[in-house]
Amino acid sequence: MTMSGEPPAMPGRRAQFEAAQRRRSMWVAGVSTTLVLVAILVLVPLAPGWEAVKKSFFNGGVFTKTFPGLLNAFLLDIAIFAWCAPLIALLGLFVAICRDIQRPALYPLRLFATVYTDVFRGLPVILVIYLVGFGVPGLGLPRPWNSPYIWGSLALILVYAAYVAEVIRSGIGSIHKSQSSAALSLGLSGADTMRYVILPQALRNVLPANMNLVVALQKDVALLSFVGPVEIFRQAGVYKSLYANFTPYVGAAVIFLAITIPMTRFADHLMNKRRKQEQ
């Protein structure tokens, strides 16, 4: 033990021990990972159906031929995502605020918001897409109001806004009552207290949770293929029939992962940052 305030020139006993342990852990992790990878690479091709699977799912020729087309179709996914996301945010926020409204005259809004979140959180997404995506155009509306883009997107918006509303509401509930006390004690109105004091903090708190919903939305855009739009999943189906090969689906999966993995990492990063701030 050095008595001066200077950092010791030699690492201390504890530091030496921890360094040795770290080296050992890395070595063990490296060896075990290598063993598992080798086992997969050796064992999977030994399976009796491997040749057939390789030909129909991992066909290099089909992959290169269809990949540009899939990428192109994915632009539609991104477009649908891009116009749905802001509308979901707005509707979700609106519903969240409605659920906490106290004024008797606005009770219908509160009732509507409660029923709304119950209904749309209680239904499978695909069911809502079918009902809205096929049902509303079935009314015989004139173009462009019969477009499956509009009604399919609306289905996604309705479902996701219900989830976002619940997340935001939990965020509002997480803000300590002393914050609204402080705002009200200054003479601010209830609405201003919500808008300037509670909501900004609540939304910041639930940003990571909403990021997870954003990732889920990006994936669920593919469900719209069931009501018409030729987005990437539908396009992969077309190629599958054309080449009698499943590789386009693998291509589509690669494209999805290229987008969703960074988004998920980013959401985790936000979550960790948030947790550190709270400590």
Determine if 101 is a binding residue for other proteins (CB under 8 A). Answer: no
CB of 104 to other proteins, least distance (A): 14
Q: Which is nearer to other proteins, 201 or 212 (CB)?
A: 201
Rounded CA gap, 50 and 45, in Å?
5
Please pick, from the candidates 186, 230, 253, 257, the single residue that binds other proteins as defined by CB under 8 A.
186
Determine if 78 is a binding residue for other proteins (CB under 8 A). Answer: no
Stretch near other proteins under the rule CB under 8 A, chosen from 77-85, 199-207, 228-236, 250-258: 199-207
Closest CA to 209 of 100, 96, 113, 110: 96
Q: Are 154 and 135 within 8 A, CB to CB?
A: no
Stretch near other proteins under the rule CB under 8 A, chosen from 53-61, 83-91, 95-103, 181-189: 181-189
Alpha-carbon distance values, 78 to 27, 37, 83 (Å):
42, 34, 9
Determine if 60 is a binding residue for other proteins (CB under 8 A). Answer: no
Q: Are 215 and 260 within 8 A, CB to CB?
A: yes
Task: Please state whether the peptide bond connecting residue 11 to the residue before it is cis, i.e. omega within 30 degrees of 0.
Answer: no
Determine if 197 is a binding residue for other proteins (CB under 8 A). Answer: yes
Stretch near other proteins under the rule CB under 8 A, chosen from 24-32, 105-113, 149-157, 174-182: 174-182
What contacts 240, CB < 8 A, 6 or more positions away? 246, 248, 249
Closest CA to 213 of 137, 140, 264, 261: 264
Q: How many residues bind other proteins (CB under 8 A)?
A: 17
The 122-161 site mask, x for binding other proteins (CB under 8 A), equals ----------------------------------------
- Residues in touch with other proteins (CB under 8 A): 178-179, 181-189, 192, 196-197, 200-201, 204
